[in-house]
Structure 1
Amino acid sequence: MKLSEIKKILTTLETVNFKLPNGNFVPEHFHVTEVGLITKNFIDCGGVVRNETVVNFQLWDANDFEHRLKPQKLNHIIELSEKILGIEDFEIEVEYQDTTIGKYDLGFNGKDFELLNKQTACLAKDQCGIPSEKPKMKLTQLNGESSNSCTPDGGCC
């Protein structure tokens, strides 16, 4: 989800809820302790220099049980961050500590924001010999030309 999308969604909500991949929710008294800009510069396994930039939200579960972040307040925090840090309309990454600090993509199900598990991937599959798509074969092609292959009436089973 891009920053512009969350800002638009926040104008329609009465409460801000974040649902974890396991179906549980971040406690309603969470704080957004950071809105930042993270740029990652790296070289992939094929030797290509790359960079990624994301807007980072850090959620923190405090012992402040009376706290409840309103959508308008979160929008204000985002707008302040855009102004001061020069943040543009990048994808959002959310950090939240459960058993360890996790990084999540952000989605929306029509009611709640959803923390979506991120996946690793090889960015240079052509350099590593990894096919971009799994080859499709018919089962009849596997041993169809072999003299040892079974036929329905061949007695091999």
Structure 2
Amino acid sequence: MKISEMKHALAGLEAVSFRLPDGTQLPAHFHVTEVGLVSKHFIDCGGVERRETVANFQLWEAGDYDHRLAPQKFLHILQLSEKILGPDDLDIEVEYQQATIGKFGLYFDGTDFQLTTKQTACLAQDACGIPAAYIPLGQLQPAACTPGGGCC
């Protein structure tokens, strides 16, 4: 999700709600504690220099059970952050504390902001000798073999 998409979604909401990838809703008393610009300058395993820049939101919850972040307040926070984020319509990355700080992608389903899982990847698969048809082990689907089907 881009910053402009979030602003558009917030403008039509009466309440702000976030859900984790497993569907669990964040407590209504969460805070947006930071909006920042995160730049990463790195070299991939193939020797290619790369840069990534995202807008980073940090969500946090505490014992302040009466706190509710209204969409208008969130929009105001985004407006204040424009001097840090600059004019680019950046992708948003969300940090949320679980067993450790988790980093998530974000999309809006029309009602809630959904935190999405992020995956690591090799950016230079051709240089590392990883075949184009490579599927990470965790993403393999069990084969639907049947007797006599010729797949076993």
Whole-Å separation in 2 of the counterparts to 1:10 and 1:93? 17
Find the residue that maps to 1:32 and give its secondary structure.
strand
> 1:100-144 CA deviation, whole Å, 9 max, x = no partner?
10000001111100000001110001101112235xxxxxxxxxx
**Paired residue type of 2:51:** N
TM-score by length of 1: 0.82
Instruction: Work out the CA distance in 2 between the residues paired with 1:107 and 1:16.
Output: 13
Q: Classify the secondary structure of the residue corresponding to 2:127.
A: helix
- Which whole-Å CA distance do the structure 2 matches of 1:85 and 1:124 have between them? 29
Give the whole-Å Cα distance in 2 for the aligned partners of 1:19 and 1:87.
28
2:116 counterpart SS class: strand
**2-structure distance, mates of 1:2, 1:69:** 20
Normalised TM-score (structure 2) = 0.85
Report the Cα distance in structure 1 between the residues aligned to 2:85 and 2:104, rounded to whole angstroms.
22
Q: Which whole-Å CA distance do the structure 2 matches of 1:5 and 1:132 have between them?
A: 33
Q: CA separation in 1, counterparts of 2:84 and 2:110?
A: 30
CA contact (8 A) 1:81 1:87 kept: no
2:2 & 2:131 partners in 1: Cα distance? 30
Report the counterpart of residue 31 of structure 1 in structure 2. 31
Instruction: Structure 1 unaligned segments of length 5 or more: list them.
Output: 135-151, 153-157
What SS does structure 2 have at the residue aligned with 1:74? helix
Distance apart, 1:30 and its partner CA: 0.5
Whole-angstrom distance in 2 between the partners of 1:57 and 1:113: 13
Q: Which residue of 2 aligns with 1:71?
A: 71
User: In percent, how many aligned pairs have the same letter?
Assistant: 64
Ranges in structure 2 where 5+ consecutive residues have no aligned partner: 135-147
Report how many aligned residue pairs link the two structures.
Answer: 135
What is aligned with 1:90? 90
Would the alpha carbon gap of residues 91 and 85 (structure 1) be closer, same or farther in structure 2, given more than 3 Å must change? Answer: closer
After the TM superposition, list the runs of 4 or more consecutive aligned residues in structure 1 that deviate by more than 6 angstroms: none
Q: Which residue of 1 aligns with 2:133?
A: 133
2: distance between equivalents of 1:11 and 1:125?
Answer: 41
